[in-house]
């Protein structure tokens, strides 16, 4: 089910409420000499990259014991492997391993099985960079199978080891992220260059993966992450810089968090989104956190002399939030890893709880005399309701007439059109275009009858009748039956029905939806629709040398992370 706060449109914007700066105990996960960066967290485990002059390895930290463990590198062909760019979920850690003079592989360590180390989908000459894990799915970018070395996205079933290529094109496909249930993968598709990307998704269904576009405007979109229900990424949509965008996995409106400055690298878990915020005029970013449920923005770090970046967030089973990030507070270049576990304060003035209200609307259309009686209700506080699939007729007949249901929020109207699908003479309406409610002037004979009747039927026995949903217009033009709206006024209007019965009456009962509270959305602009784009399988290509692979890792996977490029180049001078 697609959920909309206020009303859905092509693009929404949200101004978060200021929740202030949180107070918590910061945990120093790794502050030793060297460069520790790119942390990821799930439940009790955090994994991150650790680079020194001697080697580059993956570490994992257990919050319950404060134990930090190094995943030991291997020696192959007389040289030590290099490990980087990890992810963690369900006690399993995945990462990229550069095996000198051999291949670049995806590895997995399962801490549930004594830290057993295995290679994911072992393939001679493989060239894979960047990996994510969730549920029973691992996804990575495969540079060897693309025709020009740009990379294709591959999904691997953890249980069977069977890979599925999700893309097959000559553009850069990179930076995949997997939802915690393993059923959704998001990534960047960069047709022109790696700095101007679109966001794609693949959803696992009964027959396999379905690929479509999440955001593919002419403007750059980047850094996606995904929970079970929402996709987050960054893009410039207004005048406030680079903003976090939120979009349901099931489709619908793109929601922008409107904050002055630039927001980058969002991560999401449940209703919690963490990201880096660079205020106008500043040179170093801090970590912020946004709670979708209460529409509150919290500041996590406040260190103007250092840059905090590359955060990741997880919501624990007890409702607490666990966050990790890196900071260049070692020497302005090399970074350290920090974490925190905390509870959010309760929302102030949260307002009344859902009241499980029910409203009944009864509207009529008469022809002798010609008149419509509308039904309207004003709701305070606003009420969450689902868009109905039909409007039931309790007297007379809908024939092939039209009815409307209008939802009003802060003076903005969305009008959903319904058409009669059945009349008392046994004729069922199947045709007509979507946008034809104005094909007859209200009050004319053509509108009353709505077209030809079944000439072979003379049964005057009334049969069940209703107006069926056709489309919506206005602010929420993308709404469909089952979508949730939050309205402070609702109006039911019958345009036309069957004038043979004299009067057509519709009675509609709407019940308040008491699901998860949504952030208040402000409809202050409307962008163009985002069209889907499909992808499929892959083909072969060359293996990049070690130096090129590591530079690509810094540019492609961490391209806007300012200090990472300099660190990666410095590491190359030691390695080559």
End-to-end CA distance of the chain: 53
Q: Look at residues 312, 340, 344 and name the one whose alpha carbon lies nearest to residue 89.
A: 312
pLDDT tens string for the chain (576 positions)? 222 333 333 457 788 889 999 999 999 999 999 999 999 999 999 999 999 988 999 999 999 999 999 999 999 988 999 999 999 999 999 999 999 999 999 999 999 999 999 999 999 999 999 999 999 999 999 999 877 778 999 999 999 999 999 999 989 999 999 999 999 999 999 988 888 999 999 999 999 999 999 999 989 999 999 998 899 999 998 788 899 999 999 988 888 998 999 999 999 999 999 999 999 999 999 999 999 988 999 999 999 999 999 999 999 999 999 999 999 999 999 999 999 999 999 887 655 667 889 999 999 999 878 889 999 999 988 888 899 999 999 998 888 899 999 998 777 788 999 999 765 444 444 334 444 444 433 433 333 333 333 333 444 544 568 999 999 988 777 788 988 888 889 999 999 887 776 789 999 999 998 864 443 333 322 322 222 233 333 333 333 444 444 434 443 344 444 333 332 322 333 332
Sign of the alpha-carbon torsion through 329, 330, 334, 339: negative
pLDDT of residue 515: 67
Reported as half-sphere exposure (CB side, CA atoms, 13 A), residue 371 has a value of 3
The secondary structure element, H or E, covering residue 33 is: none
What are the pLDDT digits (tens) for 35-82? Answer: 999 999 999 999 999 999 889 999 999 999 999 999 999 999 889 999
Written as six digits, the tokens of 466 are 């209703």
Sheet strand arrangement including 390-395: 370-373, 358-367, 503-511, 390-395, 466-474, 412-420, 402-409, 484-494, 375-386
pLDDT at 445: 37
User: How far is Cα 371 from Cα 124, in angstroms, rounded to an integer?
Assistant: 78
Count Cα neighbours of 76 within 13 Å in the Cβ-side half-sphere: 14
**For the segment 418-466, what is each residue's pLDDT rounded down to a tens digit?**
999 765 444 444 334 444 444 433 433 333 333 333 333 444 544 568 9
Tokens 């043979």 appear where?
Answer: 500
Query: Quick one: which of 151, 166, 229 has its CA closest to 200?
Result: 166
pLDDT of residue 463: 55
Instruction: Give the 3-state DSSP-derived string for 174-221, with helices as H, strands as E and coil as C.
Output: EEEEECCCCCEEEEEEEEEECCEEEEEEEEEECCEEEEEEEECCCCCE
- Tell me if 212 sits within 8 A of 189, measured CB to CB: no
The count of other CB atoms within 10 Å of the CB of residue 382 is 19
Cβ(404)–Cβ(415) below 8 Å: yes
3-class DSSP string for 351-362: CCCCCCCEEEEE
Q: Which pLDDT value is given to residue 464?
A: 65
> What angle is formed at CA 186 by the lines to CA 549 and CA 516, rounded to 5 degrees?
145
Q: Name the β-bridge partners of 82.
A: 98
φ and ψ at residue 242, rounded to 5 degrees:
-80, 120
């Amino acid at each position: 089910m697609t959920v909309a706060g206020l009303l859905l449109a092509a693009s929404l914007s949200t101004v978060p409420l200021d929740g202030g700066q949180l107070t918590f105990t910061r945990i120093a996960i790794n502050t030793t000499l060297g460069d520790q960066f790119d942390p990821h967290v799930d439940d009790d485990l955090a994994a991150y990259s650790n680079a020194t002059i001697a080697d580059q390895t993956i570490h994992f930290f257990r919050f319950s014991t404060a134990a930090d463990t190094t995943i030991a590198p291997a020696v192959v062909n007389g040289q030590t492997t290099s490990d980087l760019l990890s992810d963690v979920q369900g006690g399993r850690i995945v990462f990229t391993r550069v095996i000198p003079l051999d291949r670049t592989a995806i590895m997995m360590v399962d801490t549930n099985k004594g830290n057993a180390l295995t290679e994911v989908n072992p393939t001679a000459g493989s060239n894979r960079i960047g990996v994510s894990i969730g549920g029973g799915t691992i996804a990575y970018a495969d540079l060897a199978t693309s025709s020009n070395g740009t990379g294709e996205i591959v999904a691997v079933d953890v249980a069977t080891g069977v890979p599925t290529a999700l893309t097959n094109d000559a553009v850069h496909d990179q930076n995949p992220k997997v939802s915690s249930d393993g059923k959704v993968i998001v990534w960047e598709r960069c047709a022109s260059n790696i700095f101007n990307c679109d966001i794609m998704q693949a959803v696992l269904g009964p027959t396999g993966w379905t690929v479509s576009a999440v955001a593919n405007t002419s403007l750059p979109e980047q850094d996606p992450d995904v929970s079970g229900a929402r996709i987050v990424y960054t893009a410039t949509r207004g005048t406030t810089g680079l903003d976090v965008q939120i979009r349901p996995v099931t489709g619908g409106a793109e929601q922008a968090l409107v904050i002055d400055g630039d927001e980058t690298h969002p991560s999401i878990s449940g209703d919690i989104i963490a990201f880096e915020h660079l205020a106008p005029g500043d040179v170093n970013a801090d970590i912020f956190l946004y709670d979708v449920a209460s529409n509150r923005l919290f500041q996590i770090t406040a260190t103007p002399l250092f840059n905090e970046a590359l955060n990741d967030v997880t919501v624990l089973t007890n409702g607490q939030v666990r966050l990790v990030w890196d900071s260049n507070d070692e020497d302005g270049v090399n970074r350290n890893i920090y974490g925190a576990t905390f509870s959010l304060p309760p929302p102030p003035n949260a307002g009344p709880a859902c009241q499980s209200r029910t409203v009944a609307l009864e509207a009529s259309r008469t022809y002798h005399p010609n008149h419509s009686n509308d039904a309207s209700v004003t709701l305070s506080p606003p009420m969450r309701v689902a868009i109905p699939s039909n409007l039931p007729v309790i007297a007379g007949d809908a024939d092939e007439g039209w009815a409307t249901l209008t939802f009003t929020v802060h003076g903005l109207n969305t009008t959903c059109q319904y058409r009669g699908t059945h009349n008392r003479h046994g004729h069922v309406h199947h045709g007509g275009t979507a946008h034809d409610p104005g094909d007859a002037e209200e009050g004319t004979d053509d509108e009353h009858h709505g077209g030809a009747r079944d000439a072979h039927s003379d049964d005057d026995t009334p049969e069940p009748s209703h107006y069926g949903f056709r489309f919506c217009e206005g602010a929420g033009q993308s709404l469909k039956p089952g979508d949730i709206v939050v309205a402070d006024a609702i109006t039911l209007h019958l345009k036309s029905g069957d004038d043979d019965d004299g009067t057509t009456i519709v009675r509609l009962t709407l019940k308040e939806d008491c699901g998860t509270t949504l952030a208040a959305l402000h409809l202050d602009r409307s962008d163009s629709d985002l069209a889907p784009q499909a992808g499929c399988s892959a083909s072969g290509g060359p293996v990049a040398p070690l130096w090129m692979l590591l530079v690509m890792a810094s540019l492609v996977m961490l391209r806007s992370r300012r200090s990472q490029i300099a660190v990666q180049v410095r590491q190359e001078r030691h390695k080559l």
